[in-house]
Structure 1
């Protein structure tokens, strides 16, 4: 990323260009935003609409809520208004906006009130903002209204302020697409006055609203949120305007602060200074770290301090950015121009001027020279107090391997032996070059210490044996002293570089191992929804990466910790965690949300280190590790921190998935229960009323009924009882199938016999109706449960009788096709809409054109369960001249009986 100079034209932002291109052909969206209901959003929207109409624009009211306000109704009266669409919901006629009519009329501007509204069931879309998107895509401009509490990203803040959970929210992406956001605001006193005058709610709701949502403190907080939200929106528009017109920043329309962060111990002080400056100016602020190529990499302590500084900036509310480049000043100024930064906070250089001159122009001087209109704040460095970690960390103690030193000296001895016999043929410079070999090999293989020892020993031996006067430590020529010094410098530099490279290689290998373990675990659990499987996989992977026994504890329903997973060399670790003393430490870490146990200042006598699994500040469990040492290395702590973060995310994901699944099941259960109650109440009430009425007539002694009348009443009682019996049987069969209580008992069955038995059971329901059967003699016998298959045909024929005319014929047929038998029941009834054919076999589902008929919607679902239990398939198609054909296929067994053996 290069530096953007003051005179260089600014490149167009491709993201903004794509954003503008995506709006081509779309209508423009204007949102009238308010802090709460009653501030006058709808009134302002209607006033603006009248102005557009006066300018000659075709304006249409798609939906407006006047709430009985006289002033609003007067404004509505002057604009063309679309008639609402009537929808039936729970036996009630409800009105909703007619989306199709709006698109068909295609006005230039349409008014749609209450953007966060949830539509009536049966509408094209669930939410009104989806309707608005459809209208915008059709090229129609939209005016709409919205309260700040309905913005999705502010929903949790609103709940904290008001104590009320707002259920209807609008995604921020919808608001970001708005071409204009107009803030409608009035003082809290005026809003409360409007409430008391009954201009916002009906009188019965006013007192409750004043006590709960519309308290002065709540209103002021919501007003501030609305003002800040609108200011942020205006600031975005300003940035877009600057990018569109290639205008150099910064514009001082809104203050923005940037602080430079590094691994220096003074950076924490700079971050706090920038935070106080931003708080005083009510401005956004950024914490920026520039990673530049260094001759020496950051040490462990510097890496830890840099991460701590960036975390501090994030905790204090700053936006953290990490960039890379060769010139920190250019990178900082490039970002400052891109983000419209007005103030840069940087520390005063600590080096002396001579050192800065040797290194080149100082960062501060370059920023001042090229900053243009940006203010530069130079802060005197103040060393922050050294961080006291919650977990005791220590650098790995260096291990001394005497064999490495012996190896270096052995190679030196071999070179000495060779040089002693060849010293007459070799010059001293050649011998000196040979002596470099053991030094360089020791450096590359064993590191700094052996190479240094080998170098010193080499200089001593070379001086004693080969430098004149030989066999003496004196030197006849002073130039040899410079050779010794250069020789030692080469050895020290080579040894130091080799040691650093070996250290970085080991660190890279460990990091690769831990990264690979984390990657493998994340891939394993990506599609896993079983909490036990995820936790056990986590424990095993963490144990392999850390090489320590690992335990995961989660709270039970009584908020007490239980061991959910353990991984270690043996099972004794699980027993250790179960001890009362260890349980107490783990419980302390869970209740306080802090690290405790081994290697900490809190309850360090424990054998395990316990870390809370935190997500969004909430503790969801404990991650424990069995430790022998009383201190961790920085690398170990970083690896442990990564695993605890991964564990917390994995556990929360599964828990959220389980809660979502439970919510879906509860919703589905509620839907089925509602449908069940509705069906039972409807299906049982009618025959029950018939039975009671008929019995009352028979028992009434004041009425003398002829025998034919008595017979008719008793026939009604029988018919009602049969209908009730069928409803109860369907419900019981459904319950048995779902519980697995019904078992298919297969035996050889004759399709003709099953059809005859089912028609015999329906003889009373047929009541003279003609049923035409077509069962060829060649149909083979099948293996199945004759009783259950008979129930399938009873339900299908009963369904055909119910939804066809009294004089129409019911066709029952069977045919053999390849290795299966297909049985069909066809009628000439009302048919089924094509879009609903695939749904009629669902529980409690009834087609729209069949709801006038009695039924629970269980008969066909039971047929589906029985047929599929036999390995078959059931389906329905509409007949060409009206009516429905419902067919099911059953497989023919390979060892079937011949057709003539029936």
Structure 2
């Protein structure tokens, strides 16, 4: 045995992290002492200091059981009312809020009062186990789901309260509580199980010597199967060879009365052979009544509860489809029920079992012979639909006969049969195989009666006419069968195409969705296309408050909110059609990602009936890409938030560096000049004092520009920039900007190119001037000593351009877009790298507020940089006439 197998066995032997352990006290019948044994074990745990509590214990008035209950901590029961009758149940919420280490839960198969969170008590136990609480519980063997039909066969009593077998399979320990049937009957007669009146009725109906012996054998077989599984696990723990699971069991079912019985039998066979198993239904698109669909859905739900896989296939041949699926899944055993004994199957074909045996080489084929099923009771609507199809067959035959009589004068006798064949094809396409065969039979009689000599009689004189009629009947049956089969295949293709199209459409919409809102819009558009359903998409915040993000905006009732809460917490479907809070009107499906639920999908059928299995599976299939898209959108939002946070940190660091250096530099120069004037005073020559004062003024203006840039950038970022537009001449803006920077531009050679006739600008003059000042200041800082700066203005029909060119170091192509970012400075040349890097960013923002832009190109004489301010032009104002002056 490999180390990997042994390691897997060791891991399987350990309890799942955070999950409690389940111990089951199993008995053959009521009264064998399961509760008594559980309470004895609880006292042993209590003596060892275990924190335990009795969640619910049914003593049934037995004195010895009530005596054992004394001294054990008990959880108060929850009081409920159903149809005016007060009832009590285990208080699950109280146990979860103040959890002990061990809880005693009697009668695992008990059905809770309608309106409780879960329909069954075993579901309450599962929630306790998920919360990390150990559970002691009791159950009788007749309550196991897979043994339900066998118990009915033995006792003649249909047990309504059942427990899925996988619940016991997940138990950490199963203890068999056994009592010989004779002793149990004596306890029953002595009133130690039921009161005397109930005891006599129980002995007559259930507690017979034969029944108790058979139930005892079932209990021992169940316990022995568990012992065998434990023994195999222990062998694997020791590194020795153990039986391996080979193959798979496939169960083929239809929507008949034996479907659930077959599912239970398959579950027992799979458990005995240690085989994984699947329940397969082959949809041939034959008409199926409501009762058949309901039985099929119930059998599939039962298979899911018993731990089987549910598969629905589409095909024309049930046998061939089952065999192909068996080979794909490497199955070793196919189990089917005996085919329904129909006359047409006896005459025209073999049953499903015979066809599987003929073609299933290498596979084990088992056919379960069940009791004869009662004739299905058809509803009035179904009967009317069937009568309508047969009425169509009769009408088509009559129409074909009339048409054939009209054409008999111009057509030969063999050609007239084609008219009846066309009628058969029409009926087969519009209805099903049965009406098509009926039409074929009626056409056979009409053709014989009207056209085969002697006419107007069913008598046939010539032998060749007999062969003609038989051949006609054969061709009519074959064509009707083929047409009906093609119709079913077409319907199957349409349904499959509809499901595939739905998945494709949703995937295509989700692919284009870039954020959570777009994903929700795509989901709402997809689900709301089903007019028979109401759909809502809900999210829940940290405080447990539900918010409808898409779909039906409706407040949730208390019961619906409880089902939604449970589905969200446990990541399982709840509500209508499930075993958890099934009395509501909504079916809740959590859409979960790797880290938990992302959204809750609620579906409410308008007719109030539970969703069919096919529709539930389709919605669940659509929910998978939707959950992935939500998770992708959430991840994108988190990445964007992280990116913005990083950019914010970079801007903050750049701003702090700018404040600490660029804003402090002029303050240092100003303080040095002022300190010199204060310390030396009149000792400094007048010319030097004037120079110090002018330098202080220049540094103050420089500091003022830096602070103004910061304020302007803040206003741009927070939308606080207000545009007070007015008509202004471009020449005025240029001259004013040059005047403001006369001290900075003094050492440089500045030339201006201003055409005489320029259109007016409808702008906020101060903002455009500030933008031009920033560009000129940038050019001055990067220009060499005595360098040239040229300011030129040009205009065309749509825009006016103000170009500022210098002879600085220039800007590489890969950096020309970055210079408009905040706090970015190009450190080139002897005078590069100064300033906060806000000037050009503010310039771009101010021009963008006017609908303009800034571009970068080459500077003067092939060196330096040219920054061009583009401003849109609007219709010019009318010139004032001399009469107006």
| Aligned with residue 526 of structure 1, among 502, 511, 517 | 511
- Corresponding position of 2:741: 762
How far the C-alpha of 1:879 sits from its partner, in A, is: 2.9
Distance in 2 (alpha carbons) for counterparts of 1:619 and 1:882: 61
Which residue of the other structure, out of 563, 576, 581, is the alignment partner of 1:585?
A: 563
Taking structure 1 as the reference length, what is the TM-score of the superposition? 0.52
SS at match of 1:544: coil
Alpha-carbon shift at residue 798 of structure 1 (Å):
1.6
Change (3 A) 1:495 1:688: same
Q: 2:576 aligns with which of 570, 593, 598?
A: 598
Aligned with 1:890 (options 871, 874, 877): 871
Q: Secondary structure at the match of 2:802?
A: strand
* Alpha-carbon spacing, 1:561–1:750, altered in 2? closer, same or farther (3 Å): same
Q: Does 1:506 align with 2:491?
A: yes
Contact 1:780 1:898 in 2 (8 A): no
Of residues 836, 839, 843, the one that matches 2:818 is 839
Counterpart in the other structure of 1:668: 647
Check conservation: 1:554, 1:563, Cα contact below 8 A.
yes
1:735-759 deviation per Cα after TM superposition (whole angstroms, max 9, x unaligned): 2122222233333322222222112
**Aligned equivalent of 1:862, options 842, 850, 860:** 842
Match of 2:750 among 751, 771, 785: 771
Query: Deviation string for 1:126-145 (max 9, x for gaps)?
Result: xxxxxxxxxxxxxxxxxxxx
Unaligned runs of 5+ in 2: 1-243, 253-262, 311-319, 337-350, 369-378
Structure showing greater Rg: 2
Question: Is structure 2 residue 604 aligned with structure 1 residue 626?
Answer: yes
Aligned to 2:659: 680
Residue 329 (structure 1) shift:
12
What secondary structure does 1:813 align onto? Answer: strand
Partner of 2:859: 878
Report the alpha carbon displacement of residue 682 of structure 1 after superposing the two structures with TM. Answer: 1.5
Structure 1: segments with no counterpart, 5+ residues? 1-256, 278-286, 316-325, 336-343, 365-377, 385-394, 568-573
- Partners of 1:469 and 1:493 lie apart in 2 by 27
TM-score by length of 2: 0.53
Deviations 1:439-480 (A, max 9, x none): 554333221343355567778999999999999999999999
Aligned to 1:609: 587
Q: Is the 8 A contact 1:779 1:899 kept in 2?
A: no
Q: Is the 8 A contact 1:615 1:649 kept in 2?
A: yes
Cross-structure match for 2:187: none
Question: Please, which of 369, 382, 389 is the counterpart of residue 404 of structure 1?
Answer: 389
Alignment match of 1:787 (pick from 760, 766, 785): 766
Deviates more, 1:606-615 or 1:635-644: 635-644
Q: Does 1:555 align with 2:540?
A: yes
1:48-84 deviations in whole A, cap 9, x for unaligned?
Answer: xxxxxxxxxxxxxxxxxxxxxxxxxxxxxxxxxxxxx
Q: How does 1:16-165 map to 2 (within 5 A)?
A: none
Q: Deviations over 1:301-340 (max 9, x none)?
A: 89x99xx99xx9999xxxxxxxxxx99999999x9xxxxx
Please give the secondary structure, in 1, of the residue aligned with 2:791: strand
Q: CA deviation at 1:592?
A: 1.0
Secondary structure (helix, strand or coil) at the match of 1:840 reads helix
Post-superposition shift, 1:594? 0.6
Q: Distance in 1 between matches of 2:398 and 2:388?
A: 15
Kindly indicate whether residue 624 of structure 2 is the aligned counterpart of residue 645 of structure 1: yes
**Are residues 660 and 271 of structure 1, via their aligned partners in 2, closer, same or farther at CA, if it must alter by over 3 Å?**
farther
For residues 383 and 619 of structure 1, the distance between their equivalents in structure 2, rounded to whole angstroms, comes to 44
User: Which residue of structure 2 aligns with residue 373 of structure 1?
Assistant: none
Q: Contact 2:249 / 2:275 at 8 angstroms: preserved in 1?
A: no
SS at match of 2:757: coil
Task: Give CA-to-partner distance per residue, 1:372-418, whole Å, 9 cap, x none.
Answer: xxxxxx9x78999xxxxxxxxxx9x9674122222223344566789
Q: Does 1:796 align with 2:781?
A: no
Report matched runs for 1:232-311 at 5 Å.
none
Which residue of 721, 730, 733 corresponds with 2:712?
733
- Asked if 1:849 corresponds to 2:828, the answer is yes
CA gap of 1:754–1:363, structure 2 versus 1, over 3 A, is same
Checking the alignment, whether the CA contact within 8 Å between 1:611 and 1:623 is kept in structure 2 is yes
Shift in Å, 1:868:
3.5
Distance 2:794 2:421 in 1: 96
Alpha-carbon distance change, 492 to 553 in structure 1, aligned in 2, over 3 angstroms: farther
Give the C-alpha shift of residue 484 in structure 1: 10
Query: 1:164-203 residue pairs with structure 2 within 5 A?
Result: none
1 CA distance for matches of 2:461 and 2:842?
111
Taking the aligned partners of 2:593 and 2:540, their CA distance within structure 1 comes to 15
1:165-191, Cα deviation, whole Å (9 max, x unpaired): xxxxxxxxxxxxxxxxxxxxxxxxxxx
